[in-house]
């Protein structure tokens, strides 16, 4: 099966990390076309996945853009659409992994007569998108896509609620290789010492710094926890949210808790870092479409407390495989952290159950099989 994958980003967000796992089985015959250069290209190259940066022009339209802004950027998209349509003739199908990839992919699909698959990684709600962008995504998907793969039931439901055609959709969760998430026990102590946090109760937060990811909620909660509770923030502002990053540093300074917080920036050693934590907190204040970090924590054997909204409720069973709290509730978050600190046995039981469940439900082999089964019928009889 020859697939032309499209993704707008040069940076490795969750949708891009998911795409690496999806594209890998097809690396002998696929191409990943990017609309921007960056570290994501390098990650694909490290995995021997063919990749090409298809444009160096930055695409101005943003998630919250209006119709006029969208239309005025169409002119600059035309050369890219023509290029993708031309390339698509050498492939069996076009697989759009992001919203701008859907716009380009839909028109290229029409021109090249290749089927289009849209992998929907977003909840198409007004929390995240302007009405215009949502309408464009739904209309293009409804009219051009042969299949919409939603990363959770929550993303699927929001698509249908926004006018998307339900029969087009299938829910496929992100897949993970459980073996990859096993850290060496000895590394845990070393890393905790390197962080200068040995002997502390470490709560980890693993997300790009962005207002809707809610890092400020964990900082707020920390002031209501015992003194030996500390937090590490792993991730950086990937998509221009520098002001928020700045405001977090300010919040920490105003609260006078600098000694209890570490900002580690973007890191590639997620498994080691998660394994060094006593608890992972997920604090998104808008519904999380899926939440890779939640599953990763479960696989690392680190208990997780997560915001009860969006796809996360499909990942965690409250008090069985983690804890769920209402989004934005820092007082309840502080309670869960404090209880976890006081009850190591309960924490271990939940962490073990979470690891077992996640290893089965989100196993990469099963997920990739689901995708093959969904794609196969789309390319038969073979396109010409």
Instruction: Point out which residues bind ligand GLC (CB under 6 A).
Output: 13-15, 18, 121, 151, 174, 288-292
Binding characters for ligand UDP, 290-309, by CB under 6 A (x = yes): xxxx--x-------------
- The residue whose Cβ lies closest to ligand UDP is 14
Query: CB of 154: closest distance to ligand GLC in angstroms?
Result: 9
Q: Smaller CB distance to ligand UDP: residue 206 or 362?
A: 206
Euclidean distance between CA atoms 144 and 147, whole angstroms: 9
- C-alpha distances (whole Å) from 217 to each of 278, 306, 326, 341 are 18, 12, 11, 18
- Which x/- pattern, by CB under 6 A, does the window 207-226 give for ligand UDP? xx------------------
Residue 127 · residue 214 · CB < 8 Å = no
Q: Is 353 exposed, middle or buried (0-12, 13-18, 19+ CB in 10 A)?
A: middle
Cis peptide before 381 (omega within 30 of 0): yes
Count of C-beta atoms within a 10 Å radius of residue 239? 12
Stretch of residues binding ligand UDP (CB under 6 A), selected from 158-166, 250-258, 287-295, 307-315: 287-295
Task: Pick one of ligand UDP, ligand GLC, none as the site partner of residue 208 (Cβ within 5 to 8 A by kind).
Answer: ligand UDP
Contacts of 292 (CB under 8 A, 6+ apart): 14, 17, 18, 174
Q: Which stretch binds ligand UDP (CB under 6 A): 251-259, 284-292, 329-337, 368-376?
A: 284-292
Q: Do residues 176 and 362 make contact, with C-beta atoms less than 8 angstroms apart? A: yes
Helix, strand counts (H, E) of the chain:
15, 13
Closer to ligand GLC by Cβ: residue 201 or 206: 206
233 scored as a contact of ligand UDP (CB under 6 A): no
Minimum distance from CB of 236 to ligand UDP (Å)? 7
Residue 266 touches which of ligand UDP, ligand GLC, none (Cβ within 5-8 Å per kind):
ligand UDP
Nearer of residues 112 and 151 to ligand GLC, judged by Cβ: 151
Contact between 13 and ligand UDP by CB under 6 A: the answer reads yes
How far is it, in rounded angstroms, from Cα 115 to Cα 146?
6
d(CA 36, CA 53): 6
In this chain, which stretch among 8-16, 51-59, 316-324, 376-384 interacts with ligand UDP, using CB under 6 A? 8-16
SS3 211: helix
* Paired tokens of 120: 């929907």
- Please say which residue, 261 or 312, places its beta carbon nearer to ligand GLC: 312
Question: Which residues lie closer than 8 Å to 319 by C-beta, 6 or more apart?
Answer: 350
Choose, by CB under 6 A, the member of 40, 91, 159, 206 that binds ligand UDP. Answer: 206
As beta bridge partners, residue 281 has 305
Q: Nearer to ligand UDP by C-beta: 19 or 293?
A: 293
- Contact partner, 151, from ligand GLC, ligand UDP, none, Cβ < 5-8 Å per class: ligand GLC
Find the shortest distance in angstroms from Cβ 374 to ligand GLC.
Answer: 16
Residue 98 or 330 with smaller CB distance to ligand UDP: 98
Q: Phi and psi for 84 in degrees, rounded to 5?
A: -65, -40
Can you give the binding site for ligand UDP, defined by CB under 6 A?
13-15, 17, 206-208, 234-235, 266-267, 270, 290-293, 296
């Amino acid at each position: 099966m020859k697939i032309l994958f499209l993704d707008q980003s040069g940076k490795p967000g969750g949708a891009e990390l998911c795409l690496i796992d999806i594209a890998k089985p097809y690396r002998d015959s696929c191409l990943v076309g990017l609309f921007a250069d960056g570290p994501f290209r390098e990650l694909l190259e490290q995995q021997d996945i063919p990749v090409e940066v298809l444009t160096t022009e930055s695409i101005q339209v943003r998630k919250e853009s209006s119709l006029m802004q969208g239309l005025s950027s169409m002119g600059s998209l035309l050369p890219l659409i023509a290029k993708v349509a031309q390339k698509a003739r050498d492939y069996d199908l076009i697989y759009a992994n992001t919203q701008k990839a859907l716009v380009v992919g839909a028109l290229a699909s029409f021109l090249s007569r290749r089927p289009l698959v849209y992998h929907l990684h977003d909840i198409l709600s007004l929390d995240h998108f302007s009405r215009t962008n949502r309408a464009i995504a739904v209309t293009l998907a409804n009219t051009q896509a042969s299949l919409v793969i939603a990363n959770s039931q929550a993303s699927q439901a929001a698509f249908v609620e926004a006018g998307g055609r339900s029969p087009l959709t299938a829910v496929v969760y992100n897949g993970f290789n459980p073996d990859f998430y096993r850290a060496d026990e000895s590394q845990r102590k070393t890393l905790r010492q390197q962080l200068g946090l040995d002997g502390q109760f470490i709560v980890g937060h693993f997300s790009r710094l962005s207002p809707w990811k809610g890092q400020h909620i964990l900082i707020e909660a920390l002031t209501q926890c015992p003194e030996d509770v500390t937090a590490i923030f792993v991730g950086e502002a990937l998509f221009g949210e520098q002001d928020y990053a700045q405001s977090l540093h300010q919040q920490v300074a105003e609260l006078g808790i600098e000694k209890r917080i570490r900002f580690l920036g973007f890191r590639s050693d997620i498994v080691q870092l998660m394994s060094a934590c006593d608890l992972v907190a997920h604090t998104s204040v808008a519904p999380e479409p899926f939440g890779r970090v939640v599953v990763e924590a479960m696989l690392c054997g680190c208990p997780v407390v997560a915001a009860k909204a969006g796809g996360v409720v499909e990942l965690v069973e409250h008090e069985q495989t983690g804890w769920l709290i209402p989004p934005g509730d820092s007082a309840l978050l502080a309670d869960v952290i404090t209880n976890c600190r006081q009850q190591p046995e309960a924490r271990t039981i939940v962490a073990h159950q979470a690891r077992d469940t996640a290893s089965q439900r989100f196993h990469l082999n099963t997920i990739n099989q689901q995708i093959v089964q969904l794609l196969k019928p789309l390319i038969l009889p073979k396109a010409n």
